[in-house]
Amino acid sequence: MTGTGLPMTVPVAGLPARVRVHEVGARDGLQNEKSVVPTEVKAEFIRRLAVAGLSTIEATSFVHPKWVPQLADAEQLFPLLGEIADIGDVALPVLVPNERGLDRALALGARSIAVFGSATETFAARNLNRTVDESLAMFEPVVARARAAGVQVRGYLSMCFGDPWEGAVPLAQVVRVARALRDLGCDELSLGDTIGVATPGHVVALLAALNGAGVPTDAIGVHFHDTYGQALSNTLAALQQGVTTVDASAGGLGGCPYAKSATGNLATEDLVWMLDGLGVETGVDLGALTATSVWMAEQLGRPSPSRTVRALSHKE
């Protein structure tokens, strides 16, 4: 620590010059919080994230409100974000599982969406009420219509590194669904370690297998949950393989309904601390981001689980 609230910058060879942080706190974080956050507080959270320099902020989900009650206010929230899109050209992706969700998102002017598939049958059934192939069929018209409308499409792929019901997930099984999402037309894939069990060698092996199947690393983002404290190590391994898009959640918000001890996604502050130290550009102001997470923790009535937020906001 330099005394300025930032790490000393010591670059290392073999890393990208710049990383795009795909901020998921308002969606993946809040969907897993016990309390339902008021719509105005969500809008203010997203506004503060944009001011802190995050250029991609996943805003909400247009899913069935009974499946994710925490995000049932998508219709009320999205229109409140109009001005935020102008702060430094911020993208506000939303999750869309089917055509009904796409209609809702397009009606409100969404310009970036994400479909979300699973590498395993059990999670596909529990999350989407479909088999893996049925969910791909459900996404097909969504991706086609979104692309025809000039809307960016991300394809999430959950349970890439392990599944709480099925255990180990073979690389070939992940590659098959990843390839299918690419073939549907997803611009980018996000590899989800939904329960946080991945380790760095596994990350390197999956990226190599995907490359071998024709999925280029520059079309891949990584989405690590930090259940076993591996999220940063896994991220560094991915960066060394050329990945430049990393998902993270401000303040480490969230958890996972399928791994009770899960601490949520990789905290954005922990990620930015490491990247600042490595001299990798993110455009994020760590002080402003930390202040945002401290404010959000007050709204939720509990301290942030992010080590970096705790360290930077600690008062003697």
Among 196, 193, 306, 167, smallest CA distance to 261 is for 196
Residue among 63, 119, 159, 256 flagged as catalytic: 256
80 lies in the site for ligand HMG, by CB under 6 A: no
Stretches 121-129, 139-147, 229-237, 273-281: which one binds ligand HMG (CB under 6 A)?
121-129
Residue 32 token pair: 């897993």
Among 19, 23, 27, 28, binds Mg ion (CB under 5 A): 28
SS3 279: coil
**E strands, the chain, in order:** 20-23, 56-57, 60-61, 94-95, 112-118, 152-158, 188-193, 220-224, 245-248
Told to check if 120 binds ligand HMG by CB under 6 A, we report no
Neighbouring CB atoms inside 10 A of 160's CB total 30
Question: Minimum Å distance from CB 65 to ligand HMG?
Answer: 6
Q: Is 128 in the site for ligand HMG (CB under 6 A)?
A: yes
Contacted by 63, from ligand HMG, Mg ion, none: CB < 5 to 8 Å by type: ligand HMG
Per-residue x/- track, 155-194, ligand HMG (CB under 6 A): -x-x---------------------------------x-x
Report residue 260 as tokens: 């009770």
Q: How far is the CB of 193 from Mg ion (least distance, A)?
A: 8
Planar angle of CA 315, 299, 42, nearest 5 degrees: 130
Distance from C-alpha of 231 to C-alpha of 208, rounded to nearest angstrom:
19
CA 110 to each of CA 101, 128, 284: distance values in angstroms, whole numbers, following the listed order: 11, 22, 24
Q: Which residues within the stretch 201-220 sit at the binding site for ligand HMG (CB under 6 A)?
A: none
Is 160 among the catalytic positions? Answer: no
Query: Residue 166: which residues within 8 A CB-CB, separation 6 or more?
Result: 120, 121, 122, 159
Among 181, 223, 245, 284, binds ligand HMG (CB under 6 A): 223
By beta-carbon proximity to ligand HMG, the closer residue of 166 and 285 is 166
Binding site for ligand HMG (CB under 6 A): 28, 31, 61-64, 67-68, 95, 97-98, 100-101, 116, 127-129, 156, 158, 192, 194, 223
Active site residues: 256
